[in-house]
Amino acid sequence: MRRWNAGGSNVRLGLVIVGVVLLVIGAVLLFVPVVPQASQTVSSSSDTPFYLGQVSGFSLTGTIPVSVSWSAPISVSIAAGACTSSCSNPNASSSSVSDLTFQSGTSGSFTLNQPNSGYIIMGVVSSSGGTTNATFTITTALSTIGTVLLPAGIVILIVGVVVKKKGAAAAPAPTPMESAAPPMEGAAPGSETPPPSA
């Protein structure tokens, strides 16, 4: 019985540890941009001086975090945003654009939250009116994997905690040896009192 209880405790502890690990990893992958993507270079003299892209995946929160850092050889103005539909759609309303960001200088960084199946857009304009390029370095979160691991970790953690509480609440049944009455004082173990003689 004691061996079984020890094994059960180890299983419960293992479930709690696995649940916590999955919970932490899932949260990191869901909310923290950790995967570098290909850099995008945009020319201010291009007919379309912007980068329009889409981060693949699905997020439990409805948006995928995208971290962007940029640099340019001369001072430029940067505009960026995230859209629920194609940002280049002429029928898109201003309400479909979020995380509007405006920066200027020769470098900077910002974070966009692309909606599921949405897009991100980043454009550049030369502050001096000449032609220049800006390079955008993009890092994204593994939201799809995080969406799977986070709920799985929560479920496993709950199972481990509930099983642990139930195991602690249930008192073990006494064994026959434990429930047997102690021998009389002075009597040898296993001895019995003989019946009275006639």
Asked if residue 178 is part of any domain, the answer here is no
Domain limits for position 8? 2-26+148-171
Instruction: Provide mean pLDDT across the span 32-41.
Output: 91
Does 180 score more than 70 pLDDT? no
Instruction: Based on the fold, state whether residues 93 and 136 are members of the same structural domain.
Output: yes
For residue 102, give the CATH number of its domain: 2.60.120.680
Instruction: Based on the fold, state whether residues 19 and 77 are members of the same structural domain.
Output: no
Taking a C-beta distance cutoff of 8 angstroms, is the pair 19, 121 a contact? no
Instruction: Based on the fold, state whether residues 130 and 162 are members of the same structural domain.
Output: no
Residue 83 burial class via C-beta count within 10 angstroms: exposed 0-12, middle 13-18, buried 19 and up: buried
Instruction: Based on the fold, state whether residues 54 and 71 are members of the same structural domain.
Output: yes
Instruction: Based on the fold, state whether residues 49 and 132 are members of the same structural domain.
Output: yes
For residue 92, which of 119, 65, 69 has the smallest C-alpha distance?
119
Reported as a single tens digit per residue, the pLDDT across 73-120 is: 999 999 999 988 777 665 555 557 888 999 999 999 999 999 998 999
Instruction: Based on the fold, state whether residues 57 and 125 are members of the same structural domain.
Output: yes
Taking a C-beta distance cutoff of 8 angstroms, is the pair 33, 68 a contact? no
Asked if residue 198 is part of any domain, the answer here is no
Instruction: Based on the fold, state whether residues 16 and 108 are members of the same structural domain.
Output: no
SS3 53: strand
Q: Mutual orientation of helices 2-31 and 143-169 as an angle, nearest 10°?
A: 150
Asked if residue 183 is part of any domain, the answer here is no
Asked if residue 157 is part of any domain, the answer here is yes
Reported as a single tens digit per residue, the pLDDT across 117-155 is: 899 999 998 877 778 899 999 999 998 899 899 999 999
Into how many domains does the chain fold? 2
Instruction: Based on the fold, state whether residues 53 and 113 are members of the same structural domain.
Output: yes
Instruction: Based on the fold, state whether residues 82 and 113 are members of the same structural domain.
Output: yes
